[in-house]
Amino acid sequence: MRTVGVEEELLLVDAYSGEPRAVSADILARAAQDDPGREVFEKELFGQMLEFATRPRSEMADLGAEIVRCRKEAARHAGEIGCAVAALATSPLPVSPSITVDERYQWMADRYGIGTRGQLSCGCHVHVAVESDEEGVAVLDRIRPWLPVLCAVSANSPFWQGRDTGYASYRTRVWGHWPSAGPAELFGSAERYHRLVADMVASGVILDEAMAYFDARLCAHFPTVEVRVADVCLCADTAVLVATLVRALVETAARDWRAGRPPLDHSVSLMRLAAWQAARSGLGQDLLDPATMRPRPAADVVRSFLEHTGDALIESGDAARVERAVAELLSRGNGASEQRALLERTGSLRDVVTECVQRTLA
């Protein structure tokens, strides 16, 4: 069974006002002092963010337990300095981002100007093990039409600088400001993939291969495919659902490759439209069907995803749990729907943040 690891970026907020606070350096220092040599948490581009990474897991229950444990550990360190952590993909309240002191981040600020400061957003990256770069690239070519569905499921960023954006995942629209971000063309082989990334670096527009911000890519340091389209999920259970769906999607794509079934050859232009539609509507309206690139109700497209990955979900023992989780999600709504419901009930974005802090740790 393929192993799965998750990287989550959390928003650091004031425990009383809910406003983002640039305290990641303090939290990282406390974590290092608390458990020397254990590198769970990492700095990010902005001081108002904190990232953690799980270990590779085969069992989804173990992955879920580790996500909850890491969230609570981050909250404990934040609480020691009057802060809290929130699994929010963008800040509902206005914020002036503080770039972390780091040579790499300073290069990005100088290179991309004001676009860098508009990038305070938190994502969830899912790593799934692959046997080789060749298998990994075959997977990348075959999962691309399904990635917008994962965006819609995880969408958790309706607010930006104190306003409702009209989007379910505004984070993905912000992320698209990076020159290398978004859907990629079919690669065809590992050699072509690596040559493209090398050409991108040689252009001077990006610093290195880590800045090839494709929606899904080969990880440079581990034998994994890294899927990068998801918002950080408000509830840990949704994060586990996304990770489970990604593993099943990767396994299905690898089987199709071994069976000689070719990938769907949608243009990048159509893939960008599908990504936009998923970010705009989430699960509330139509998505573009991955096979036809024509609009269909979101619930029907999600069920098509489950049909597409059905054999892999059954063989991993995840099918029944995923069916229940998807039914609950379609009934309850994603994080964006929950945030908007909280605002309607409370009338206050500060109260939205306060409630989301609690749900982050549930």
pLDDT per residue as tens digits for the range 205-228: 999 999 999 999 999 889 999 999
How many domains does the structure of the chain reveal?
Answer: 1
Condensed to tens digits (0 to 9), the pLDDT of residues 109-158 reads 999 999 998 899 999 999 999 999 999 999 999 999 999 999 999 999 99
Residue 86, number of CB atoms within 10 A of its CB: 30
Cα separation, 256 vs 250, in Å, equals 10
What does the mean pLDDT of the chain come to?
96
Token pair of 309, please?
A: 């990955």
Cα separation, 142 vs 208, in Å, equals 25
pLDDT for residue 88: 98
What band does 348 get if pLDDT is binned at 50, 70 and 90?
A: very high
Region 279-298: mean pLDDT is 98
Residue 286 · residue 157 · CB < 8 Å: no
Strands, E, within the chain: which ranges?
Answer: 4-14, 41-42, 49-53, 83-86, 123-129, 159-160, 163-164, 216-218, 224-231, 286-288, 295-297
Cα separation, 279 vs 295, in Å, equals 14
Residue 91: CATH number of its domain: 3.30.590.20
Region 32-61: mean pLDDT is 91
Cα separation, 210 vs 156, in Å, equals 25
What band does 289 get if pLDDT is binned at 50, 70 and 90?
A: very high
What band does 237 get if pLDDT is binned at 50, 70 and 90?
A: very high
**What predicted TM-score, i.e. pTM, was given to this entire model?**
0.97
The b/e string for 139-151 (b: 16+ C-beta within 10 A; e otherwise) is bbbbbbbbbbbbb
What band does 43 get if pLDDT is binned at 50, 70 and 90?
A: very high
Indicate the angle between helix axes 349-360 and 335-346, nearest 10 degrees. 130
Cα separation, 138 vs 156, in Å, equals 30
Condensed to tens digits (0 to 9), the pLDDT of residues 63-103 reads 999 999 999 999 999 999 999 999 999 999 999 999 999 99
pLDDT for residue 117: 87
* Whether pLDDT at 256 is above 70: yes
The b/e string for 95-105 (b: 16+ C-beta within 10 A; e otherwise) is bebbbbeeeeb
* Whether pLDDT at 239 is above 90: yes
The rounded percent of the chain whose pLDDT value lies above 70 is 100
Residue 288 · residue 273 · CB < 8 Å: yes
In eight-state DSSP terms, residue 317 is T
pLDDT for residue 2: 97
Region 40-52: mean pLDDT is 95
Region 321-333: mean pLDDT is 96
Residue 59 · residue 13 · CB < 8 Å: no
* Whether pLDDT at 39 is above 80: no
Q: Which residue has the tokens 């934040």?
A: 78
Cα separation, 323 vs 241, in Å, equals 10
The rounded percent of the chain whose pLDDT value lies above 90 is 95
Range of the domain at 192: 4-360
Residue 90 · residue 74 · CB < 8 Å: no
pLDDT for residue 95: 96
What band does 362 get if pLDDT is binned at 50, 70 and 90?
A: confident
Strands, E, within 83-139: which ranges?
Answer: 83-86, 123-129
Token pair of 159, please?
A: 């607010």
Region 17-46: mean pLDDT is 90
What band does 270 get if pLDDT is binned at 50, 70 and 90?
A: very high
What band does 244 get if pLDDT is binned at 50, 70 and 90?
A: very high
What band does 37 get if pLDDT is binned at 50, 70 and 90?
A: low
Region 245-261: mean pLDDT is 98
